[in-house]
Amino acid sequence: MDIVVCVKHVPETAEAELKIDASGKGIEKSGLVFYINEWDDYALEEAVRIKEKFGGTVTAITVGAEDSDSTLRKCLARGADKAIRLTDPKFAGSDGYATAKILYSVIKNLHYDLVLTGMQAGDDGYAMVGPILAEMLGIPHTTMAKKIELEAGVAKVNRELEGGLEEQLEIKLPALISVQTGINEPCYVSIMGIRKAMQKEINVMTLADTGLSEADMGETGSWLKIEKLYVPPAEKQTEFLKGTPDEVAAKVAEILKARGFI
């Protein structure tokens, strides 16, 4: 079972303070901590587990800048055999569609039985790279997988619907599956794994290796052009309670009492 896993190096933003940059079209990246996209972490784990069960190889691939190496190293440390980084200044500004084209240009030349992706990336949240890539590769796909079982020539997949409901599908292999969080429990990286990963090579490719033209990527090759970023308007008028922790706690308690909850 040869598996290709698409991963993305993204900033951790849930706890960080975000600042819109001078262009108004992006956020200031300096000072942010980057890591493997949450959904891709589950995809990688799933790939490694399938490899442990059925044998074969896992190749991690990313479109990103040089600093994506830390994410690829993590993949190697966790059990990926090979890593490919697609890096070119011309790739900047690519949306999910352009990114899918770049990934396709390389993956089409690899041997794979399964391509795994996260169902979305936590930064721009497109949830489109997987299915578009599947269309380009001409293979079946499914998304939001919560369970994957492989049988002869097919994958049985439980995919998430709304409100806790799931559906079970069967798709023919080779196939692309985008995974949802909670499909497994990603492991921690072992020291052994990190040592081994340092010895493995990251294969770096550029625009010239893709066979694509400049017009296929970046803003010109994308469906979407970002015009402006802004802070979302609040839906409710929030009253912020201020003071020392003790004072604030007292205020909260008073509110609870006034509303009859105590």
Partner 1 sequence: MPEIFVLAEHRQGQIRDITYEMLTKAREIAEKANLMLTAVILGKEVKEKAKTLAEYAKKVLVVEDAKLENFNSDAYQKVLVNLMKEYKPTLTLIGHTSYGIELAPRLAAALNMPLATDCIDLALEGDTLTVTRQMYGGKVNVNATLRKAESYMVTVRQAAFTTQKPVTPLNGEIIEKPSLLTEEITTKRFIQYILPPPGGVDITAAEKLVGIGRGIKDQSNIPLIEDFAKTIGAVLACSRPIVDKGWLPNDRQVGSSGKTVKPKLYIALGISGAFQHVLGMKNSDLIIAINKDPNAPIFSFSDYGVVEDLFKIIPSLKNKIYELKGQKA
Ligand X SMILES: Cc1cc2nc3c(=O)[nH]c(=O)nc-3n(C[C@H](O)[C@H](O)[C@H](O)COP(=O)(O)OP(=O)(O)OC[C@H]3O[C@@H](n4cnc5c(N)ncnc54)[C@H](O)[C@@H]3O)c2cc1C
At closest approach, how far in Å is the CB of 160 from partner 1? 6
Exactly one of 59, 120, 143, 210 binds ligand X (CB under 6 A); that residue is: 120
At closest approach, how far in Å is the CB of 198 from ligand X? 30
At closest approach, how far in Å is the CB of 159 from partner 1? 7
The answer to whether 17 contacts ligand X (rule: CB under 6 A) is no
Complex with partner 1: residue 116 or 202, whichever CB lies closer? 116
Which residues have CB under 8 Å from 44's CB, separation 6+? Answer: 5, 7, 36, 58, 60, 75, 78, 80, 116, 186
Instruction: State the binding partner of 35 from partner 1, ligand X, none, CB within 5 to 8 A by kind.
Output: none
Query: Which residue sits closest to ligand X, CB atoms considered?
Result: 14
Q: What are the Cα distances from residue 134, in Å, to 75, 87, 164, 195?
A: 22, 22, 26, 34
Burial of 157 (C-beta count, 10 Å sphere; 0-12/13-18/19+) = buried
At closest approach, how far in Å is the CB of 168 from ligand X? 18
Instruction: State the binding partner of 252 from partner 1, ligand X, none, CB within 5 to 8 A by kind.
Output: partner 1
- What is the C-alpha separation between 3 and 59, in angstroms, rounded? 6
- What is the C-alpha separation between 54 and 37, in angstroms, rounded? 26
The answer to whether 15 contacts ligand X (rule: CB under 6 A) is yes
Binding interface with ligand X (CB under 6 A): 14-15, 120
